[in-house]
Each structure stands twice: as structure tokens, then as C-alpha cells.
Structure 1
Amino acid sequence: MAYSDFKLAQVIDFFGLTVHEGSRIFADFPEEKCSELLSTILEENVDLAVAINTEKARSEMIISPILLEVRRKLDKKISLFSGVDFSVDSARGLNGFCDFLISLSQEQLFVRAPVMTLVETKNENLKSGLGQCIAEMIAAQLFNEMQGNKIKTIYGVISIGTIWQFLKLEENHIYIDLSEYYIQDVEKILGILINALRQN
């Protein structure tokens, strides 16, 4: 079993999670101004990525530039990984590759705790990625504890590039924001990502 094998109900039951669903869970996070660089990149890339309509195109042309903007705005004090093996506990299915992973460590040659945010890319409806993303968040929580870097909140993101959905994990409580954030509101998307990282 691997991250990608988990469905939502399965991961909730398997890890004994309590689910909290709600709208606008991240509404209080202030927006972050979008740089001219990111604005230009998105203006050129979004329609093209949507036309190509593959996970790879959406990941490379929309999601990566946004995450790189987050890294720049945080003075490169975080590390950003793409397509890395993040196997933490294979016996419980917490193994496989993550589309994107953000750590509060500046170490870029390998993943070091504390891992803060997991971003799962999809080319279909967001709900299909919930189980996998939550499994990756649980792995991050365990990874941090094993490395002696226990932190209160792990964040998760599911995105098709043009639409973003956010989650957070605190102990065994998973909070799923039912609100969807659209690429037209990129400053809100940046605000949630950046302020989530700043909180820790």
C-alpha cells in the first residue's frame, strides 16, 4: 500500500482521525501581494496548462511558480521539494512519492524535519486527492516526531492548478476547508500558504 492507494473514508478509519469540515477555515489568513514576476508567469501559463490538461502541465506551469513565489517571499528560509520519495512507515502504507513538499528547514539536498506542507496535484476533481493528501500529512506528522521536531499543525493542499483546497492536521484532528480558492484569487492562495508557514 502507498499514499496513492488511500481513499478518504479509508484513511480516516485506518488512522482513527476525527474529521472537521467547514467553509472558510482559512478565511482569516491575510492575502499576500502577487509579484509582477508571478503575475506574468501565470498570465502566460494558465490557459496553456488548462489546454494541455495533464497533471504534469498544471504542476509545472501553475503550481510550481506559486510555490516558488512562496519561497521567495519567505527569503528562501524554507526548502521546497518536487516528486520526492517520502517513505516514512511502509508497514502502515505511509510510503511513496509526494508531488510537492515544504519544510521549515533550509536544507535543500534532502528532506529534513519539520515538514510543514504537502501539496498534491490532481487533474480531476479535488475530492479524489483527499485520502492521499491526508495520508501524506500523517506521514509528515510522524516524520517530524521521529526527528524530534514535533509541531502543532501540518498543512495539506490539493490543487488542479486553477483551483486549490486546503487542509490542516492537529494531533488526530483533520480539518477540511470545503471552500475552494481559484487562481483568480492567487493573492489569497499565497496568503494561506505563507501565513501557514509563518505560524510555525
Structure 2
Amino acid sequence: MAYSDFTLYDLRQQFGAHFRAEMLFPNVAPIQPSDWLQQALKMGEGIGFNSEKSRSERLVTPVLLELCERNNRSFSIYSGMNLDVDPARGLRGECDFIFSYSRIQDFVTAPIFCIAEAKKQDLELGTLQCAAQLIAARRLNEFEGNPTQPLYGCSTTGVEWRFLKYEGTEFVLDENRYYLAQLPALLGALQAIVDATKAKDIPSLSR
């Protein structure tokens, strides 16, 4: 089993996970995207997509780079890195994107935010995959003596984004969906996650 194989039943039975929904960012402040980001997304959409990888390269990556620059590159972004924490329990496999406070680029350390690309544009399955990755992320954080809570994640098709928060044994799914067409709101939600994580008195972001 890998992250993409987990079902809702698996997460409940193996890890005691509970799920509920609420508005995670009720007062999010919209952020105006830079001219660079708008141009990059326009070019990406104009070229089109023939795979999930192309969607991530042309839609997701520019948004994350914009967020990183807005925060003075204070966190690192890992793309396509393995997060093999507990293979016997299925907590293994590749993660599409992870944010971490560590500046080490060779391997993942202390992740605080995971993004799963929705396979076949199925946002719900992407959310379950992301939930499994967040369980693994917490275990890695605890192993490294950095028990960060809560952890945040996101499932995205590149066009549609859904956020979730993991704390205790509970996953809170955001009732709001964010769309690339409403880019200021999406950037605002991502910045809200960075701000909330910084407030936990953790070493400076480096992902």
C-alpha cells in the first residue's frame, strides 16, 4: 500500500482518523498576484495539459513559487520526493509537493504542509491521499523532535484547490473550494497557512 491507495475506511481503522468540515479561513485576506505569476499561468494554460505532471508544472508550481518569494524564501519546496516513514503501514511513496522548515534539499525533513495532485481530477481521492501523507509527516516531525501541530495539506487539480488541517486524530476539511480563476483568494489562503504555522514558534520556514 502507498499513499494513493488509502481509503476513508483505512484511515479510520488504522489510524483512528476522524473527519469533519468547517471554514478553515473565514477571514482570509486576498492577495494580488504578481504580474509574473499571472503571465506564467496564462502561458501554462495556453500551452495546455496532457498529464497530471504537466498540470503541476504549469499551474501548481508557479503558485507555490510566488508564495515562497512573498515569504522571502523562508521555506523550502520539495517536489516528487519520497516520504517513506512507515512502509509496513502503507506510509510510503512519493509526495507531489511538501513544504518544510529545513533548508536541506537532499531529503525531506520536518514537513509542515503537503500537497497532493488529484489523480484523474478526483479531488476527493486526492484529499484522502493528502490525509495519509499528513499522518506520515507528523510521524517524521515527532521523530525529529519537532511535533508541529496542526499540519496543513491540500488536494488540487491545479484549477481547484481544497485545504485540510490535521490536529490530534481529526482532519478538518475546508468547506470552501478555491479556484485558480480567483487567484487572490487562493494566495490569501496559502498565506494564511504560512502565517498560522509561523505563529507556532517553529524555526524559520525553508521549503
Task: Give the TM-score normalised by structure 2.
Answer: 0.89
C-alpha distance in structure 1 between counterparts of 2:134 and 2:93, whole Å? 13
Give CA deviations for 1:135-168 in whole Å, capped at 9, x if unaligned: 0000011110110001111111111111100001
Say if 1:79 and 1:105, in contact at 8 Å, map to a contact too. yes
Look up the equivalent residue of 1:170 and give its one-letter code: E
Look up the equivalent residue of 1:12 and give its one-letter code: R
Partner in structure 1 of residue 37 of structure 2: 38
Q: Structure 2 matches for 1:1-200, cutoff 5 A?
A: 1-22=1-22, 24-49=23-48, 52-113=49-110, 115-122=111-118, 123-200=120-197
Say if 1:46 and 1:162, in contact at 8 Å, map to a contact too. no
Give CA deviations for 1:67-89 in whole Å, capped at 9, x if unaligned: 11111111111010100011011
Instruction: Determine helix, strand or coil for the equivalent of 1:199.
Output: helix
Instruction: Determine helix, strand or coil for the equivalent of 2:121.
Output: coil
* Number of equivalenced pairs: 196
Partner in structure 1 of residue 203 of structure 2: none
Structure 1 regions of 5+ residues with no counterpart? none
Please report the RMSD computed on the Cα atoms of aligned residues, expressed in angstroms. Answer: 1.4
Look up the equivalent residue of 1:25 and give its one-letter code: L
Look up the equivalent residue of 1:58 and give its one-letter code: R
Give CA deviations for 1:29-66 in whole Å, capped at 9, x if unaligned: 322221111011112212433xx342111110000111
Query: What's the offset of the Cα at 1:107?
Result: 2.6
Look up the equivalent residue of 1:88 and give its one-letter code: V
Query: What's the offset of the Cα at 1:19?
Result: 1.2
Say if 1:166 and 1:177, in contact at 8 Å, map to a contact too. yes
Find runs of 4+ consecutive structure 1 residues off by over 6 angstroms.
none
Structure 2 regions of 5+ residues with no counterpart? 198-207
C-alpha distance in structure 2 between counterparts of 1:26 and 1:9, whole Å? 27
In the superposition, relative to structure 1, how do residues 105 and 29 fare at CA in structure 2: closer, same or farther (>3 Å)?
farther
- Identity score, percent: 35
